[in-house]
Amino acid sequence: MLRYDIVDVFTDRPFAGNPLAVVHGAGDLSTSQLQALASEFNLSETAFPTDHDQADGSSYHVRIFTPASEIPFAGHPSIGTAWVLRRDDLIRAGSVTQHCQAGVVTLSISADPTDPIELGASPRGVSEPISAPPVLGAVGLTAHDSRGMVRVSGCGLDFAFLRVDPSALERAVPASSPLAAIVPVPGRGSIGGVSVYAVRAADERPLGIRARVFCPDVGVLEDPATGSAALGLGPVLVADGALPSSGGSYVIHQGVEMGRPSVLHCRVEAADSIATNCFVAGQVTPLAAGRIRVPSEI
């Protein structure tokens, strides 16, 4: 039997935010066994941390799975896993490095478990503007709803970002077609999802954002809180002039339409309108714990 925790990420209360399963002691399992466990939990992501027994508690490794596939990086599994490992005294407070398929990311962890954990990652750059109509159509919207061209951006995992009028958010629907065919960007690899977002007020600081994120290509129709998309939005906001050329802070409210309100506190550092560092922070709330059988090799 394997021990597991379920936590809600990007919320200060249970049954909100984005739920995450963190499964312990699975380092010797095969990829197919890990996938079977993630499919059984059927949450947007399940995390499998390993190698967190370093003498100084400064680093750990993690593999992250959706119900359909393994992904190289995701924000809420990174923050939720770090919170669980810190609670169990397996990693230290302060600056900790996480190793995942996308590379190395840094987390800043407070000694107070009620404080937000901040995740930092390096941006991959922002694509040139892409025609919006195919993406609008994929999420059930029209040209009337658009407030700009689509851009692709990411920190370890790319997303397509579609800015819309605030009134369009509640009418958006999960994309039913593979996004890889709708948003082809040479040299960028796969698209993790599409973030449909609206700016509440251009002069608000920190900038207020409402967002919905659809990830059909990885088996998640809609995600209540998406840290990796939150990170990728910062460079887009800078490139499009919604934030100053030197960067700034923004707060994303997501998951409202799903009944799982989430709050993601973000900031981006930039120089001459080009993002150099991206950060997202959120609170974590424990929800459940238990044990699960080890699946048979498939």
Tell me which residue has tokens 């700034």. 248
Task: Give the pairing of strands 158-163 and 151-154.
Answer: antiparallel
* Three-state SS at 175: coil
In the structure, what pLDDT confidence band is assigned to residue 53 with cuts at 50, 70 and 90? Answer: low
Distance, in Å, from the CA atom of 59 to the CA atom of 210, rounded to the nearest integer, reads 33
pLDDT band at 142 (very low <50, low <70, confident <90, very high): very high
User: Quick one: pLDDT at residue 54?
Assistant: 65
Average pLDDT, the chain: 93
> Counting every residue, how long is the chain?
298
pLDDT at 219: 80
Ordered structural domains, the chain, with CATH: 2-116+283-292 (3.10.310.10), 133-280 (3.10.310.10)
pLDDT at 204: 86
pLDDT band at 218 (very low <50, low <70, confident <90, very high): confident
CA dist., res. 21 & res. 46, Å (int) = 5
pTM for this prediction: 0.94
Mean pLDDT of 26-33: 96
Q: Is residue 178 scored above 80 in pLDDT?
A: no
pLDDT given at position 182: 78
Task: Report pLDDT digits (tens) over 245-260.
Answer: 999 999 999 999 999 9
- Residue 261: cis peptide before it, omega within 30 degrees of 0: no
Binned at pLDDT 50, 70 and 90, residue 118 comes out as very high
What percentage of the chain carries pLDDT values higher than 70?
Answer: 97
Give residue for tokens 């995390």: 47
pLDDT > 90? residue 191: no
Average pLDDT for 20-32 = 96
pLDDT of residue 104: 92
Query: Phi and psi dihedrals of 107, rounded to 5?
Result: -120, 140
| 186 pLDDT tier (thresholds 50, 70, 90) | low
297: confidence class by pLDDT, cuts 50, 70, 90? confident
Cα 256 → chain centroid: 16
Per-residue tokens: 163: 């800015």
Radius of gyration of the chain (CA): 18
pLDDT attached to residue 255: 97
- How many whole angstroms separate alpha carbon 177 and alpha carbon 248? 34
pLDDT tens sequence across 122-137: 998 899 998 899 999 9
The pLDDT assigned to 192 comes to: 84
- What burial class does residue 114 get, using C-beta atoms within 10 Å of its C-beta: 0-12 exposed, 13-18 middle, 19+ buried? exposed
Mean pLDDT of 276-292: 98
For the chain, where are the E strands, in sequence order? 2-9, 18-23, 46-50, 59-65, 70-71, 94-100, 103-109, 117-121, 151-154, 158-163, 191-199, 207-215, 220-223, 247-254, 262-271, 274-282, 284-292
